[in-house]
Amino acid sequence: MLLVALGIALGNWQERRAAEKTALRERMEQRGAQAPVALGPAIVPLETLEYRRVTVTGQFVPGWPVFLDNRPYQGRSGFYLLMPFKIAGSDVHVLVARGWLPADPTVHDRLPVFSTPPGQVSIEGVVSGNMGRVLQLGDAVPLKPNAIVQNVAPGQVEQASGLKLEPFFVEQTGPKEEGGALVRDWPLPSTGIEKHKGYAFQWYALAAMALLFFVITGFRSGTKHDDAARA
């Protein structure tokens, strides 16, 4: 009976997690459907703009590219290119994920070739709290221009570069640049709703099996006891 209670409790917990993730996905869809917000010179909390479409005018800081490693795309290994973007009329920057670039299949650490629009430009994108996390083996390499890293946060780039940064990323969606080397087919954040529902089903099934086992063994024990009493 303890196993039955445990299975039901864990199944209910997984159902609650699925409900939370469903609410998150609905929030993402609702925010994504809203009109774009123009980023200004003020520092804005992540919670205010997460999943929102934004526009921002300014210029890229070409001296501080950072490459996120182990970001495959359609079966090819590659990097996400991150660059600070100075917001016009201020000293505030935002870390822009400009797109995906393929890695050299023969020399993985060879940096891919890309171009950066000069001067003031206007870009579009979606605010994200993180660029996904991958397994990190060993110590992270020092964060510096052209560093190839597994994971990074805006605060780390701010500390290493000395640039004042917004506490989020902008996954750039436009405009399309000449040459087309950068791929901007950004994956949607995984909410794992189906996974939680699957786990809930497994725990409920375990509870049902334990209850069935309890009933069957209890019935057999009672039958044997009655037979022994009649004998």
Give the H or E element holding residue 51. Answer: none
User: What pLDDT digit, counting tens, does each position of 155-172 carry?
Assistant: 999 999 999 999 999 999
pLDDT of residue 209: 84
Q: DSSP string of 112-151?
A: PP-----S-EEEEEEEES--------SPPPPP-TTEEES-
CA-CA-CA-CA torsion sign (185, 128, 32, 54): negative
Is the pLDDT score of 211 beyond 70? yes
Q: CB–CB of 168/77 below 8 Å?
A: no
Tell me the C-alpha to C-alpha distance, in Å, between residue 147 and each of 65, 102, 137.
Answer: 8, 16, 16
Q: Which of 3-17, 84-98, 210-224 has the highest mean pLDDT?
A: 84-98
What's the predicted TM-score (pTM) here? 0.73
pLDDT of residue 22: 67
For residues 74-81, average pLDDT: 95
| Separation between Cα atoms, residue 144 and residue 123, nearest integer Å | 25
For residues 12-24, average pLDDT: 70
For residues 86-105, average pLDDT: 96
Position 174 confidence tier, pLDDT thresholds 50, 70, 90: very high
